[in-house]
Structure 1
Amino acid sequence: MQLIDIGVNLTHPSFEQKHEAVLARAYAAGICQLVLTGTSLPGSEQALALCTRLDPGGERLFSTAGVHPHDASQWTSQSAQHLRALLEVSSVRAVGECGLDFNRDFSPRPQQEKALEEQLALAADLQLPVFLHERDADQRLLAILRDYRDHLPAAVVHCFTGDRRALFGYLDLDLHIGLTGWICDERRGTHLQPLVREIPAGRLMLESDAPFLLPRTLRPKPKDGRNEPAFLPEVLREVALHRQESESSLANHTSACARAFFGLPVLPDAPLDDH
């Protein structure tokens, strides 16, 4: 059984000097390919550099490049040009992480919307998929996406934590859904358990969002409390349980979906389809 982790923050300081060990544990746990998340222009450059250094063959590590809504206040007239240059590198497979966060509002909402719209325009121009962030902003995000969706090849709402209304709004717009260890959290994630059955195969992908969102159902827990891609099988287990399907079936179709979404190469020992 092979899994693809579509969202890992490998540039996070807690992984510094540990990249090789983290990846070795991930590969040993059956994570065959990973997409490293870029959340700022410098962070996107770092993610790309890690891909180049740690996977010179370009078969296992890929990245996104974008500006997170928390950093939208840093978006300037030069940002789009800088981002375009990053997106033209072959191992960068999606625009993002970009979107709206009306939960924390670290950047003013008008600036969040401007940065998002300019990144969506870039994705449409370059015909790249989009890696989206949304918290407490599903209706506004949907309103903005409707103007761009016909011009985008694909988009995924990563780390989906929303309600039924948000989920069906995204599915109606033909978006993909990324699930994390949030579903393993008995304090705030139980509402996702019945919802995951509603996500069609071919629209669902799995992600660790490491080092964040350590699955609370994981046993034994790491002493440092840090999530890793190697723990993605716990998310797989929990999602399979609530979708009432086998772990191998879920691994197969979520990995096939991720491979198609990001245009990832097929590895010799990886599943080819969702059958």
Structure 2
Amino acid sequence: MGNNVNCWNAYIEEPSEKTILSPAAAPVSKPSSISSSSVITLKSIRDKITIKDTSSLHSPERLEKLSSPNLTTKELRLRVKNSQFFSKDFVLNISSQGYMSSKTKGVVYFGNKRKDCKGGEKICDFIIPCDGVKLYGQLFVIYYCVESDSYIIRDLGIGLGVYVKLEYSFKLTSDILINIGESHLYFRIVFTENSYPNLLLTVFSSGPIQNYCFYAQEQHISPIRIGRARDCDICLDDMLLSKYQASILYSHSQGWMLIDGNLVRQRPSTNGGWLYCSNNTCLDTGMEIKVAQNLFKVQVTS
């Protein structure tokens, strides 16, 4: 799996978020009691890691390339897999020129409202309903990349976020946010004097938010289990999680890895893990996209 138009001001009303204080300077391998003055929330993490600038998507150079007569005929189809608002047979077709009456060629902006305000300027090309949350502005963007001949999705930092489903195994890097059930895992990687990368993890769940630090030397031998089961190293009170939702381990050849499901019995989790699209993410056939109460299956056709 692979892993910019005007930036509009937006307003969001959403539930208050749980907060924790920043990790202490010396990390520990168990949940740490935090002593720092800076406060971290799930929203502040999204704001920090999300690339919101879309100005390059409007550049004259890009628009000129999109006018080429030799441009690809490849299309992106998003088929509804599950939704409270769209019928199951609904398919959203996006071409290299965008979606139907896209305001900008080759770009599709998704939002809860088509205009920035009542009687205002159109800023969204396709409406994604978000039940119970009032959202104004552009939620995320999908665009055609001429250079890579691919379709790219990226969140724009408003609302509940857009996510893509992870494969069975996923290589962890710094500043990524992963959703499992109703919980979120925020990962950072830091290098120490011994050159081994330590993994810092912040867990947002229904209980107290916790910080963890894991050492590569230890987790190469003993994986970290996450789930509802009491014998998990990170046990979460989240009924949408499997008993053994995922494992984290360190591989000398690949680095830190997140493995879905029960690692011992080789059983996948029920709902999987979902990567927050804070950066440009390439869409390929078979992938799944989740935004609010909507789930889409990706198909790229020639």
TM-score (norm 2): 0.27
More helix by share: 1
TM-score (norm 1): 0.29
The structure number with the bigger radius of gyration is: 2
